[in-house]
Amino acid sequence: MSIFKLIIYFICIIITASAQATIISHNTFLSWIGQYTTFRVYVYHWDEDSPLKNPCYKQPGCKIASFPENNGVPADIHAPNVLSAENYATIGELGKAYKAKYPLSTEHTFQIDGRSAQYNCFRLAAFQNDWRDATFLPDNICIQYHKYPVSCSLLGDTNLYHGYVSDKSINGNTAQTQLTLSCSSAATAKIYAVGFNTNIVSLRSDDSLQTELKVNDQDASEGIEIEVNSADSLATFTLSSTLRTHGAVAPGAFNGAGTLIISAY
């Protein structure tokens, strides 16, 4: 006699619609002065509770600073916001030290050789010598500066409920919610959906169960754009969660939290 064993999981993903990623920076193109392009760069959020590992920890001479991004990697520049970073185990501890030296929203002025505004995103990176060995810190988002004042409201339930799921159908199970954006004027909205590692949210401490967040079926950890055509129109998008298993998953109730960030300009 065969016995069919059904294991049931109840899963809810809580998405916070606020700026709570570990590190958030923004920047604005300022001017061309002679042969230089000038930018203003700001770090305006850093979560001191982040348990993510600091890549500089116990690495002699390792430092952090803001670097412009060029094709996904740091580019050559002389950064004014340098901090020695080898003595801090986590990104949260590193953030506390950074804010003690450079309070949030401190303006940093960068000059790049050449008449170009192509470096439109500056993020914090770890390095030991110069930009050639620099790597961007994890969970580290860059938002471009607003072109003109605009305010937006998000309508809808940002929580994603998978409900009761059996062990046979947990991998690949998807939950989604429809959200609507209303803005004070016509705008381009850049939407980010992030966890602690790109668009992945861990639901178990052993990472046996994770979920992948998407906006309109796309990875939005680096942001995707949607258009709000006027103050009288609404823009609708889909936020989804797809479960991924890694090995055996013990039954029970699970939940996780991600972040939805909207930058409108």
Domains of the chain, residue spans: 8-18+148-264, 23-138
Q: Poorest-confidence range of 134-138, 186-190, 234-238, 261-265?
A: 261-265
Q: Where is pLDDT greater, at 8 or 41? A: 41
Q: What is the C-alpha to C-alpha distance for residues 44 and 31, in angstroms, rounded to an integer?
A: 22
Structure tokens at 106: 């401190």
Q: Which residue has the higher pLDDT, 259 or 214?
A: 214
The DSSP string of 112-160 is EESS------EEEEEESSSGGG-EEPSSEEEEEPPSS---EEEES---E
Looking at residue 3, its pLDDT comes to: 33
pLDDT band at 129 (very low <50, low <70, confident <90, very high): confident
Q: How far apart are CA 91 and CA 49, in angstroms?
A: 8
Checking if the pLDDT of 2 tops 50, the result is no
Side-chain-side CA neighbours of 118 within 13 Å: the count stands at 9
pLDDT value at residue 14: 46
* pLDDT of 15 over the 50 cut: no
pLDDT in tens, 91-120: 999 999 999 999 988 888 877 765 555 556
Across 22-31, 93-102, 120-129, 144-153, the highest mean pLDDT is recorded for: 93-102
Lowest average pLDDT, out of 29-38, 128-137, 242-251, goes to 29-38
Q: Which range has the worst mean pLDDT, 25-29, 78-82, 98-102, 161-165?
A: 25-29
CATH number of 8-18+148-264: 2.60.40.1090
Taking residues 246-257, report their average pLDDT: 84
**In Å, what is the CA distance from 37 to each residue of 113, 143, 193?**
6, 19, 31
Q: Which of 141, 126, 125, 121 is nearest to 71 (CA)?
A: 121
